[in-house]
């Protein structure tokens, strides 16, 4: 690695932006492949050294892009497997996570098969081709059930909770492409862990509790309150999952924790993740720095908390407008508060526009501060 080393990132949103900023700390240049409209400055393009405009299906343009990069990574898992394999053939050993890894998690059905075969507990599930598939699954597992698109779902998009059989037909029309249905597992908490892995080893971040509203994460609290046995089970499942997918890079794993402390692996993400943003201000090494280190084969950084507790508040758009956080002064007054805005020009309801992390020694106090800010801001 030298001053001319270039990390290419497929994608140009906030995850790519924060990865690029971390790379710059290490003296690494970044080149972004951006599929945003030509007249819109993407979050990552504002901070990257170079930007190439292209959609993710233009193989000729992508191959030209990777010729200008020494290492390649990505900010989401929605790129076609054929494109990833073409990148790996053209520049072997430079794409991480690798195309081989993506074969194991190519869609939610394949992902669940991979993890179940690795001895990891997952929610009961079944591929859906017809209404009769859903009815037979309901007969076996009861209502409610959750029907999901096997590819492309995020932040509440791509899934429907079916509470009555009358809802099946509408769900089959709404959800496009390959589909699956899952049993609803009653849980007391949703929890998540980040892990980075390469030749130098594996590091785990503190386990976080994610607090959702309408399938969108609003808060992340660290560390999650759980028994030592539950923590050990989560790390066991995470290690099995990393091994099963031949992981190199940074990964998020999301779990359900039931009232009797059973742990179910819900989903994975082969990239930086919303549940790990707190690490930018609450850990020795942020998830974004370890993303860069892991894909480039560098020694991984220590992940220990530098604070007793942290609470992260996702800043979601509240209206359709030019981006403006109000009252920004209330955020900037918070002791041990850290504001991160993503540089998105336009806001719309529910869009992730930034996050705010508060660190401290009193969990209830910093959570109360976060809740008060959530009640008063507009964006």
Residues 229 and 311: beta-carbon distance below 8 Å: no
Tell me, yes or no, whether 130 and 152 share the same domain: yes
Say what the pLDDT of residue 151 is: 84
Give the chain's radius of gyration (CA, Å): 21
Instruction: For residue 60, tell me if it sits in a domain.
Output: yes
3-class SS of residue 378:
strand
Residues 147 and 270 in one domain: no
Q: φ and ψ at 131, to 5 degrees? A: -60, -35
Q: How many domains does the chain have?
A: 3
Instruction: Please say whether the beta carbons of 290 and 307 come within 8 A.
Output: no
Q: Residue 292 belongs to a domain with what CATH number?
A: 3.30.470.20
**345 and 215 fall within a common domain:** yes
Do both 156 and 265 map to the same domain?
Answer: no
pTM reported for the whole predicted model: 0.94
* pLDDT at residue 312 in the model: 98
pLDDT, position 76: 86
Note whether residue 232 is domain-resident. yes
Give the domain-ending residue among 166, 183, 200: 183
Residues 174 and 49 in one domain: no
Residue 291: both structure tokens together: 């993303």
Interhelix angle 81-90/59-67, rounded to 10 degrees, is 40
DSSP label of 42: -
Position 110 in a domain: no
Last residue of a domain, one of 95, 115, 139: 95
CATH number at residue 156: 3.30.1490.20
Cα–Cα distances (Å) from 323 to 51, 170, 316, 320, in that order, read 23, 35, 11, 9
- Contact between 195 and 251 under an 8 Å Cβ cutoff? The reply is yes
**Is the residue at 33 inside a domain?**
yes
Q: What is the pLDDT of residue 213?
A: 87
Q: Is residue 240 in a domain?
A: yes
Residue 338 and residue 211 share a domain: yes
* Residue 361 and residue 323 share a domain: yes
Residue 11 maps to a domain = yes
- Give Cα 202 to chain centroid, integer Å: 18
Picking from 161, 183, 205, the residue at the C-terminal end of a domain is 183
- DSSP letter for each residue of 312-323: EEEEE--SSEE-
Tokens of 142: 């009861």
Q: Both 170 and 211 in a single domain? A: no
> Residue 270 and residue 79: Cα distance in Å, rounded?
12
> In terms of domains, do 370 and 226 share one?
yes
* Nearest by Cα to 31 from 16, 13, 14, 15: 16
- The pLDDT, as a whole number, for residue 302 is 98
113 within domain boundaries: no
Nearest one of 235, 206, 204, 193 to 300, comparing CA atoms: 204
pLDDT tens per residue across span 327-360:
999 999 999 999 999 999 999 999 999 999 999 9
Cα(323)–Cα(325) distance, integer angstroms: 7
Q: Which residues of the chain have pLDDT under 70?
A: 38-39, 153-156
Together in a domain, 173 and 195: no
Host domain of residue 251: 189-376
| Judgement on whether residues 166 and 195 belong to the same structural domain of the protein | no
| The two structure tokens encoding residue 278 | 């707190």
Alpha carbon distance 108, 151 (integer Å): 7
CATH, residue 32:
3.40.50.20
Q: How far apart (Å, rounded) are the C-alpha atoms in residues 296 and 305?
A: 24
Paired with 254 in beta bridges are 192, 267
Domain contains 102 = no
Q: Let me know whether 308 and 209 are in one domain.
A: yes
DSSP 8-class letter at 305: B
Calpha distance 379→316 (Å, rounded): 7
Q: Round to whole Å and give the CA distance between 308 and 216.
A: 26
pLDDT value for 77: 83
Look at the block and give the residue holding tokens 């692996």. Answer: 265
Residues 373 and 356 sit within 8 Å (Cβ to Cβ): yes
């Amino acid at each position: 690695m030298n001053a001319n080393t270039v990390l290419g990132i497929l994608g140009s949103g906030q995850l790519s932006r924060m990865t690029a900023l971390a790379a710059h700390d290490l003296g690494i240049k970044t080149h972004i492949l951006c599929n945003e409209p030509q007249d819109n400055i993407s979050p990552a393009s504002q901070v990257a050294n170079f930007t190439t405009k292209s959609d993710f299906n233009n193989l000729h343009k992508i191959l030209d892009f990777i010729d200008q990069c020494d290492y390649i990574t990505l900010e989401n898992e929605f790129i076609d497997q054929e494109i990833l394999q073409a990148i790996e053939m053209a520049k072997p050993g430079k794409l991480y996570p690798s195309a081989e890894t993506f074969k194991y998690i190519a869609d939610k059905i394949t992902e669940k098969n991979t993890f179940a075969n690795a001895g990891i507990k997952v929610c009961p599930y079944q591929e859906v081709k017809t209404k009769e598939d859903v009815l037979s699954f309901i007969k076996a597992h009861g209502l409610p059930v959750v029907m999901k698109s096997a590819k492309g779902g995020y932040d509440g998009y791509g899934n429907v909770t079916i509470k009555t059989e009358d809802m099946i037909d509408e769900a089959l029309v709404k959800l496009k492409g390959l589909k699956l249905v899952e049993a609803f597992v009653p849980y007391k908490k949703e929890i998540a862990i980040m892990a980075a892995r390469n030749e130098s080893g594996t590091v785990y971040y503190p386990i976080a509790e994610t607090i959702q509203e309408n399938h969108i994460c609003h808060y992340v609290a660290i560390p999650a309150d759980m028994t030592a046995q539950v923590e050990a089970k989560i790390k066991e499942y995470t290690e099995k999952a990393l091994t099963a997918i031949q992981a190199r890079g940074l990964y998020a794993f999301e779990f359900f924790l039931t009232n009797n402390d059973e742990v179910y692996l819900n989903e994975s993400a082969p990239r930086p993740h919303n549940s790990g943003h707190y690490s930018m201000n609450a850990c020795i090494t942020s998830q974004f720095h370890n993303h860069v280190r892991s894909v480039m084969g560098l020694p991984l950084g220590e992940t220990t908390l530098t604070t007793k507790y942290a609470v992260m508040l996702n800043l979601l758009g509240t209206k359709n407008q030019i981006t403006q956080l109000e009252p920004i002064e209330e955020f900037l007054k918070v002791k041990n508060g850290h504001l991160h805005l993503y540089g998105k020009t336009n806001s719309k309801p529910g869009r992730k526009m930034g996050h705010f992390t508060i660190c401290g020694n009193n969990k209830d106090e910093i959570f109360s501060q976060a809740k008060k800010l959530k009640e008063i801001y507009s964006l």
